[in-house]
């Protein structure tokens, strides 16, 4: 259902509030440059620092601006099952095409707890849902066996794999037919090679056309040109994670004149040393 380059879009802020004009411009920039879907209110969108009111507003703006041109997949996960249900229900009512649900962080549920959490949300809201496994941030991982159990639910259509493990994705692929979406930009190409359908990309914020073309070329069978693009953009991709995401990607967009540099505590602005490295890689691709 969801494939290609799906941008995990940043949330621009201005004087402590959402910069709605900049957000609208970013969304338009993505669509005009080949992005196949917009993912607001994810990790890159600093959802953990937003109020529920802000969360809902970002979803509303995204749905409005996109206007059905590409899918909108709203981040609606939470460490509370009831809160995830409420956010997912809102996303559906607002007109989103899907929901992205992170594993419950801090709680450290068992595999049975993870299964029941996702099943309850999938039972409660009739909208396509993507599991989001990023154990480096949540300290819990959905086992491939649990993914296979959840894949039997008609509303659970994909998993965003941010484990950085090709073995993990391969095991899921061997157990069920759920769509796998890369959650690590540096591994987009390797994951495509073992059956992934696309990526929920951070780098697409900065280089939407290149990320989209790389994935489209691979899915169309032109693996050689896809590999060439991967090699070309890889140094920038790596640098976009030189500090905690989304610090570098927001700094890159500021360098491009697309947003202000505001980021919410406890995240801090990109260090001078890292900014110099990022600028150098961006200059190589003629982005600034």
Active-site residues, by number, are 132, 160
> In whole angstroms, what is the distance from residue 95 CA to residue 2 CA?
16
Cα 140 to Cα 135: distance, rounded to the nearest angstrom? 5
What are the angstrom distances between the C-alpha of 172 and each of 80, 159, 164, 194? Answer: 26, 10, 14, 11
CA angle 255, 258, 262 (to 5 degrees): 75
CA 131 remoteness from chain centre: 11
Burial profile 105-117: b = 16 or more Cβ within 10 angstroms, e = fewer: bebeeeeeebbeb
Two tokens at 208?
Answer: 């939407």
CA–CA distance from 207 to each of 31, 204, 221, 254, 280 (Å)?
12, 5, 22, 14, 15
Are 236 and 282 spatial neighbours (Cβ–Cβ below 8 Å)? yes
């Amino acid at each position: 259902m969801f494939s290609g380059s799906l941008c995990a879009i940043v949330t621009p802020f201005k004087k402590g509030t959402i910069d709605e004009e900049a957000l609208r411009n970013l969304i338009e920039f993505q669509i005009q440059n080949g992005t196949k879907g917009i993912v607001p209110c994810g990790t890159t969108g600093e959802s953990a620092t937003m109020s529920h009111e802000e969360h809902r507003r970002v979803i509303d703006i995204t749905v409005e601006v996109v206007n059905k041109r590409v899918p909108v997949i709203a981040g609606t996960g939470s460490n509370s099952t009831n809160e995830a249900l409420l956010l997912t229900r809102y996303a559906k009512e607002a007109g989103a095409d899907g929901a992205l649900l992170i594993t419950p962080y801090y709680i450290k549920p068992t595999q049975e707890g993870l299964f029941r959490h996702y099943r309850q949300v999938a039972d409660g809201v009739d909208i396509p849902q993507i599991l989001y496994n990023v154990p480096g941030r949540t300290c819990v991982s959905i086992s491939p066996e649990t993914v296979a159990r959840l894949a039997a639910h008609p509303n659970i259509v994909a998993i965003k794999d941010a484990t950085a493990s090709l073995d993990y994705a391969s095991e899921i692929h061997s157990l069920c037919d759920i769509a796998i979406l890369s959650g690590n930009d540096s591994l987009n190409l390797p994951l495509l090679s073992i059956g992934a359908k696309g990526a929920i990309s951070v780098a697409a914020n900065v280089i939407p056309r290149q990320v989209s073309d790389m994935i489209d070329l691979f899915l169309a069978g032109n693996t050689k040109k896809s590999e060439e693009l991967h090699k070309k953009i890889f140094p920038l991709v790596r640098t976009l994670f030189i500090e905690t995401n989304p610090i570098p990607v927001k700094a890159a967009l500021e360098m491009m004149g697309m947003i202000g540099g505001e980021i919410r505590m406890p995240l801090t602005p990109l260090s001078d040393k890292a900014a110099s490295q990022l600028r150098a890689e961006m200059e190589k691709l003629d982005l600034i």
